Amino acid sequence: MDRMIKPNFRYFQLSLTALLIMVQTGCAQQFPDLTTSDLTLGVETVSTDFSNPWSFTFLPDGDLLVTEKEGKLYRLSSDKKTEISGLPDIYVRGQGGLMDIELHPDYTNNGWIYFAYGSSTSRSSGGNTTVSRARLRGTELVDLEDIFKAVPESSRGQHWGGRIVFDTKGYLYLSVGDRGARDENPQSLSNHCGKIHRLHDDGSIPSDNPFRGQNNVAESIFTYGHRNPQGMALHPGTGEIWAHEHGPQGGDELNVIRAGNNYGWPVITYGINYSGTKITDIAEKEGMQQPVTYWVPSIAPCGMTFVTSSKYPEWNGSILLGSLKFNYIHRVKLEGEKVIFQEKLLDGFGRIRSIKQSPDGLIYFSVEGKGIFKINPTT
C-alpha cells in the first residue's frame, strides 16, 4: 500500500504559460507540445464557451453533452453549441447544482441518459443529490424520471458528491457527500449521505446489496464512511469501482470500492480541521479501510479516468484526475493496487473538474472558467 505523498514527491511540472492565454469561442487552438516523463503531448481547445463545465459525456456521433453547474445542459458539436431543454428544476447551492452525466451502457438501444443534480422538495429544507434519467429527442429531454433522491435534505452548500458510473454488469454507482454533517451522516446507515450507492438502472435496489433487508438501513448503500467523493471510475482490468474523495486539511484519499466497506470518515483520517486542530487521534482502526494512497497536503481531487487507450501506451492502466486546489492533472501509475509513481501534468492550467477518455481513445478534460480541452499524443 502506498503511503502519504509528501510535498517533495517527484513531479514533472510542465510550463504552460501559453495555455493561460484566452482564446476565441469555438476556436480549436493548438498549444505548444508538452513533454511529460513518458511522452510528448499536444493540448487542443475544444470549446471555451463554458463557465463551469462540471461534466461531459460522449454521444455515438462524437458530439459531447456538457453540464454547466448552474443548471444548463448543452450539446457540443464541431461547429456549434446547442442548449438542451427539459431539465428538472435544479437546486444550485454552494458546491451543488447540475453535476455528472453518463450514458447507459446500452445507450444505442435504449437511449437513456443519466445525470446527477441538486434537487429540493422545499427551498426551506434545502436539497440533496438526485439522479434522473431521460432520453434526448432533438434538443429536448423527454421521458424524464427521477430514479434516486438522497435524504436528508440540507441547506448547507458543501459535499454533494455527485459522480455516477456504470460497472460491467450494468449496475449504477452514485457518490453522495456527507453534506457537511460529518458527525451525523457518514457512519450512519439510516441515511444516504457520506456513502456510495449501487442501483439497478431503473433505480431499484439490487438484491445482493450489502445492507439489503436490514432494518432502519438505506438499502442502496454499497459503502459508507466517505466525506466527499468527487471522482469514480471503472477499473478496466478488475471491473471494480475506484473512487477518490476530498479530505479536510489534508487526507484526500484514493480507494477501491468494495461491498459493505467502511472507509472511516470521520473516525479515522489523515487530515486535520481547517483551523489546524485535530479531528481524531487515529488514522487506522480495525474494520475501517485504509486508502490505496492519500495526499497531504490536500490536492482537492476531482474527476477520474483510467487510461486504456493505445494512443497513450505509456499511460495504460494509469489514473488521471484533476487537482482543483493546485490547477493541474494528476497522474497515478499503478502496479496492481500499489501506487508506484505520480506526476503533475499541465501544471497551472486551471481547476480541472472532469476528465474522461473518449470512445476514440483521446483524453478530454473540463476546466472551470476555461472550457473543454483534449490531449493529443504527438509521439
Q: In the chain, where are the structural domains located?
A: 4-377
Q: Which three cell numbers stand for residue 92?
A: 444550485
For residues 92-98, give the mean pLDDT: 97
Q: What single DSSP character describes residue 32?
A: P
What pLDDT does 40 receive?
A: 81
Q: Of the residues 159, 192, 246, 330, which is catalytic?
A: 159
For residues 188-205, give the mean pLDDT: 98
Q: Which three cell numbers stand for residue 72?
A: 444548463
Give the whole-angstrom CA distance, residue 250 versus residue 272.
Answer: 7
For residues 354-374, give the mean pLDDT: 97
Which residues are CB-contacts of 258 (< 8 A; sequence separation ≥ 6)?
223, 240, 289
pLDDT interval class at 31 (50, 70, 90): low
Q: Is the pLDDT of residue 258 over 80?
A: yes
Residue 290 buriedness (CB in 10 A; 0-12 / 13-18 / 19+): middle
Higher pLDDT residue, 317 or 24? 317
Q: Which residues pair with 117 in a beta bridge?
A: 98, 130
Residue 58 buriedness (CB in 10 A; 0-12 / 13-18 / 19+): middle
Q: What is the pLDDT of residues 280-301, one digit of tens each?
A: 999 999 999 999 999 999 999 9
pLDDT interval class at 377 (50, 70, 90): confident
Cα distance between the two ends of the chain? 33
CA distances from 349 to 18, 79, 122 (A): 10, 25, 39
Q: Is the pLDDT of residue 1 over 60?
A: no
Give the whole-angstrom CA distance, residue 110 versus residue 103.
Answer: 10
pLDDT interval class at 234 (50, 70, 90): very high
- The pTM assigned to this predicted structure is 0.92
Q: Strand 229-234 vs strand 241-245: parallel, antiparallel, or unpaired?
A: antiparallel
DSSP notation for 317-342? T-EEEEETTTTEEEEEEEETTEEEEE
Give the whole-angstrom CA distance, residue 30 versus residue 206.
Answer: 46
Domain 4-377: give its CATH superfamily. Answer: TolB, C-terminal domain (2.120.10.30)
Phi, psi of 2 (to 5 degrees): -70, 150
Give the whole-angstrom CA distance, residue 104 versus residue 94.
Answer: 28
Q: Is the pLDDT of residue 273 over 50?
A: yes
Query: Mean pLDDT, the chain, as a whole number?
Result: 92
Which residues are CB-contacts of 236 (< 8 A; sequence separation ≥ 6)?
306, 308, 317
Omega into 297 within 30° of 0, i.e. cis?
yes
- Within a 10 A sphere around the Cβ of 257, how many other Cβ atoms? 23
Q: What is the pLDDT of residues 102-152, one digit of tens each?
A: 999 999 999 999 999 999 999 889 999 999 999 999 999 999 999 999 999
Sheet hosting strand 328-335, strand order edge to edge: 301-306, 319-323, 328-335, 338-345
Q: What percent of the chain has pLDDT over 70?
A: 91
Q: Is the pLDDT of residue 359 over 80?
A: yes
For residues 205-227, give the mean pLDDT: 98
Higher pLDDT residue, 123 or 318? 318
Give the whole-angstrom CA distance, residue 91 versus residue 76.
Answer: 24
Written as one letter, the residue type at 376 is: N
- Within a 10 A sphere around the Cβ of 102, how many other Cβ atoms? 23
For residues 183-206, give the mean pLDDT: 98
244 catalytic per annotation: no
What pLDDT does 32 receive?
A: 59
Determine the 3-state secondary structure of 258 from DSSP.
Answer: coil
pLDDT interval class at 91 (50, 70, 90): very high
